[in-house]
Structure 1
Amino acid sequence: SWLLQVGPEGYIVLPSAGTLEVAGRTLADVRLDVLHRLSALFRGVNIDVRLGRPRTFRIYLTGQVKAPGALQVTGSPRVSDILNSAALQDNASRRHIQVVHPDGSRELTDVERFVRIGDQSMNPWLRDGDVLQVPVANEFVWAEGAFGRPGQIELGLNDSLLTLFRLAGDPLPAAEVGNVLMLHWKDPFKPDSTWLRLDDVYRGTTNPPLRDGDRIYVYYIPQYHLQHEATVVGEVERPGTYPIAEGRNRISDLVKAAHGFLPTADLTSIRVHRLNPGAGEKDPELDRLLRLSRDQLTASEYVKLTTKLSSLREDYRIDWARLQESPKDLDLLLKDGDVVRVERLVPSIRIDGEVRHPGILTFQRGLRIQDYVQQAGGFTDRAWASRIRVTRVVTGQTLPARNVRALDPGDFVWIPERPDKTAWDDSREILTALAQVATVLIAIKSVK
């Protein structure tokens, strides 16, 4: 085997077959040429050509690069192979890079053009001894709106409107063809606006050159391919996401599309989750009210707080039986993004706190709170029976027991502990009672 080195002029010397120019050619092309020449000299011999070792040479990086100085490179790299994003500083130009060859000639390099649209015309091969000069990027144009890659783009040499379109990923299918605004700066303080058409730009009938600061606005077709959707999950035959028409489809339509409820569905507690557009907005007044305790709130502030919290609510409850009775009033119109959750029926009541055997009890329609307390072994000696609270599974509200007419499956009953009374508390109650008696006596004497 022979190891043939490519000389400075780009030639190799073939044994008994002269020289062969290989610079700038592919290995496959060189292999065919070598086999053609040597096959006539060496008959009956298998001949193959392989790349034994890529060449190495030195180049120099200057300007807005992270590691200026000499760099050893291997093979035949292009400028983009060396000056990638990791090698350049944040303010480096990617479209005005100069390659200075040892003979003094220069080539302008546009790495961004290659990266964005694959154009190699300004991405030259590097030679031994080349100097890469990277200046600061200081001129920009903007492509805004319905582009594949909207945003700021460095202005390149001889850039036109079509060039900007290509670099910005071209307009999207949702772009309005006849609604393109070009903002062009005639002087540093006075922009000039022009309305264009996309098809005229691509036909070449309108393709003005760009200047620093120019902005292009391509607008979207309103509601292009817009499809509203709602999701139903839980105890339905076919849970999933379904297309809807806002203002027309209702909860009943979504349930019908999902092929109805399963036998285990809790039809008294169907929940609708609807995103509140104002939920993410900061409300300084609400923040102030939340920092105050209940005792610190005035009556009007308390009303304002509860109103604001209610306005942020995103979950709503629907009773299917009531909806069937009054579909016109209760069959909610769906909005895009609604999530309807149908819970599994939970035939139980949880009771905790000051009862002898707290836990989960079987729900029985018609039983009162007192009945479930008896099932839990009755009150303890510390129970505060007049302050029982019930947390409704449907709404999440916690209510005094006296305000709950009937329990629902899944409700939570809490029996609090009666607070300890001090001697001062007893004295205060006695004094209060005596003061009331004295007031009555004085009133009677005054009448007499």
Structure 2
Amino acid sequence: MFSRSNLLFLLCCLLAMTFALPASAADTASASATATATATASAPAAPAAPAADPAPFGTNLFQGHFSQSSSSKVIQSGDRLIMRLWGGRTMDDILTVDPEGMITIPDVGRVPVAGLPIDAKEPLEQAIKSKLNAAGVVDVEMYIRPMDTQPVSIFVTGFVPRPGNYTGTPSDTILAFLDKAGGIDSKRGSYRNIRVLRQGQEVGSFDLYPFALKGAMPHIRFQDGDTVVVGEKGPSVITSGEVRNTARFEFKPGELTGAKLIELADPQPRATHVSLSGSRGGAPYNLYLPMNDFKALRLENGDQIRFLADRPGDTIMVEAQGAIRGASRFPVRRNTRLHEVMSYIAVEPGRANLEGLYIKRKSVAVRQKKAIEDALRRLEQNAYTATSASSDEAQIRAKEAEMLSNFISRAKEVQPEGVVVVGTKGNIADLALEDGDVIVIPEKTDVVLISGEVMMPQAIVWNKDKDMDDYIKGAGGFSNRADESNLIVVHPSGEVVPRAKEVLPGDQVLVLPRVESKNLQAVKDISQVLYQVAVACKVILDL
């Protein structure tokens, strides 16, 4: 039977069995080609429709911001002012504020009035009197007020949360009166069919989408007794995915097309395909097609449209790290090879170890992470389903299960870097790069790192006259658990040399533990796994 320490080593080793040696350039290129072929051969499945029904487009307009009080309103371009003067000067006229915010008083000049409060007459009178005095007009009395401050009573009805009679001014926008009525009923009301009736006759019809999309404010000058009627919601579709506007879009009659939806939803540049889920003739209907084909498609009320990025771009991003200067990120065309990108990288002269160059690749890291998770699931299954022949053995297994649980919790935190070895004996393979690849150029160093089963793991200055035994002695010698015949040297490039006697600058020396057991097969298997872990992770796992 194994001792407790050997059992812990065994658990560690089983986890690490799924680690492969660092990926070679050839292996990685082959795996990438296979994945590309598979993706090309199989058509993507239409994604599931969004779970939640998004709010109607434009619903955020009505949050109480339009129904401001008259005291907060100011004079602006287009407003009309009634102005009467008597005494030193006589005048009775209606003046319009020009686009520059000025009114023009005949024979006196222009007076800036934009931005002055509508209901506070003193600032307005003071501005005009100052201009009159400057023109030599004195001893004058004045009456001036905005024409449009006379309140009007407007009925708001139809599909709104709070239909009723609301007070405002003739210059108030239709949005202000709708806001007072609670906006548009989100389930039944139309944002595109809003009418204004005057004595039973329609005097205006309004669509709020131009304002929501481009800020084009619908304009009408209200009269007392006007009625605002919000119509019933028209046909609508729901959008999601790679779009800037995720919402439920309402359509006018005759506009229910893919091209119109693209105009409203504003897909992201990376969107290439569309998934449609709906019904036709009472039966479920699903469609997946390129964006260009979608433009001509006729949509139906209730369709759910998801915009997708289902094609790799023509450009990938590659990053450089380590002993470099200047730019560290390089957008390059897809299928660009390593040697071409290396010509773009400015390295630190005298510091860069080009022979130690390697690549960190996301796809390799993902495969390594998945291997870890698969191994952990197998470990849990095997450990918790094992049977015990006696009560003593049951107690031992309970303690083993607790230790295993702690070990698995720590192992789940492992994040592989996905190292790809591209250099061997100074020769750098010219492999095709992938999006997100990180080219690492280590700095030259004269230090050798000794770790694993030695008395004092540490870094030692490299000396050409020293061999492996000298470096082990410099680290205090082997520990009592060391397998003295099982040493690994890892070069800066990630290349692994087992049982090497020669040590080079920047190398890492890993001393593996000795596995003690009467079961020769177990010794062989555990030793092999420990070797794989050391090569893949460049560490000796600590239980």
Choose which of 74, 82, 93 in structure 2 pairs with 1:12.
82
Amino acid at match of 2:194: Q
How far apart are the structure 2 equivalents of 1:242 and 1:108? 53
CA contact (8 A) 1:355 1:373 kept: yes
Matches within 5 A, 1:45-60: 45=137, 55=149
CA contact (8 A) 2:448 2:507 kept: yes
Q: Deviations over 1:275-327 (max 9, x none)?
A: 329949x97x9855432229939xxxxxxxxxxxxxx9843122264426xxx
Choose which of 286, 291, 296 in structure 1 pairs with 2:382.
296
Moved more, 108-117 or 387-396: 387-396
Amino acid at match of 2:421: R
Amino acid at match of 1:317: V
Amino acid at match of 2:360: H
CA contact (8 A) 1:110 1:123 kept: no
Shift of 1:77: 3.1
How far apart are the structure 1 equivalents of 2:144 and 2:469? 94
Whether 2:321 is the aligned partner of 1:233: answer yes
Q: SS state of the match for residue 449, structure 2?
A: strand
Choose which of 201, 211, 223 in structure 2 pairs with 1:114.
211
Which residue number corresponds to residue 315 of structure 1?
419
How far apart are the structure 1 equivalents of 2:308 and 2:452? 62
How far apart are the structure 2 equivalents of 1:358 and 1:238? 36
Which consecutive residues of structure 2, in runs of 5 or more, have no partner in the other structure?
1-79, 111-131, 384-415, 520-543
Whether 2:459 is the aligned partner of 1:360: answer yes
Which residue number corresponds to residue 156 of structure 1?
252
Shift of 1:154: 0.8
Which residue number corresponds to residue 384 of structure 1?
481
How far apart are the structure 2 equivalents of 1:49 and 1:349? 93
Identity of matched residues, %: 18
Which residue number corresponds to residue 79 of structure 1?
174
Amino acid at match of 2:420: Y
Whether 2:469 is the aligned partner of 1:370: answer yes
Which residue number corresponds to residue 436 of structure 1?
none
Moved more, 227-236 or 288-297: 288-297
Give the direction of change, closer, same or farther, for the CA distance of 1:184–1:19 in structure 2 (3 Å limit): farther
TM-score, normalising length: structure 1: 0.56
CA contact (8 A) 2:337 2:433 kept: yes
Q: SS state of the match for residue 113, structure 1?
A: helix
Matches within 5 A, 1:139-288: 139-140=235-236, 153-156=249-252, 159=255, 164=260, 167-168=263-264, 212=301, 226-236=314-324, 238-242=326-330, 244-247=332-335, 249-259=336-346, 262-276=349-363, 279=366, 287=373
Choose which of 334, 341, 346 in structure 1 pairs with 2:440.
341
Q: Deviations over 1:27-75 (max 9, x none)?
A: 6699646546999x99722899987898466656666667766766578
Quick one: higher RCO (CA 8 Å, sep 6+), 1 or 2? 2
State the Cα RMSD in Å. Answer: 6.2
Q: Deviations over 1:170-209 (max 9, x none)?
A: 8999999xxx9x9999977799x9xxxx9xx9xxxx9x99
Shift of 1:155: 0.7
Q: SS state of the match for residue 349, structure 2?
A: coil
CA contact (8 A) 2:338 2:431 kept: yes
Shift of 1:339: 2.4
CA contact (8 A) 2:423 2:493 kept: no
Give the direction of change, closer, same or farther, for the CA distance of 1:26–1:383 in structure 2 (3 Å limit): same
Give the direction of change, closer, same or farther, for the CA distance of 1:18–1:50 in structure 2 (3 Å limit): closer
Matches within 5 A, 1:28-43: 32=103, 34-35=105-106
Give the direction of change, closer, same or farther, for the CA distance of 1:18–1:385 in structure 2 (3 Å limit): closer
Which residue number corresponds to residue 137 of structure 1?
233
TM-score, normalising length: structure 2: 0.48
CA contact (8 A) 1:383 1:418 kept: no
Q: SS state of the match for residue 114, structure 1?
A: helix
Amino acid at match of 2:323: E
Q: Deviations over 1:252-276 (max 9, x none)?
A: 2222232566321223431213332
CA contact (8 A) 1:358 1:376 kept: yes
CA contact (8 A) 1:79 1:123 kept: yes
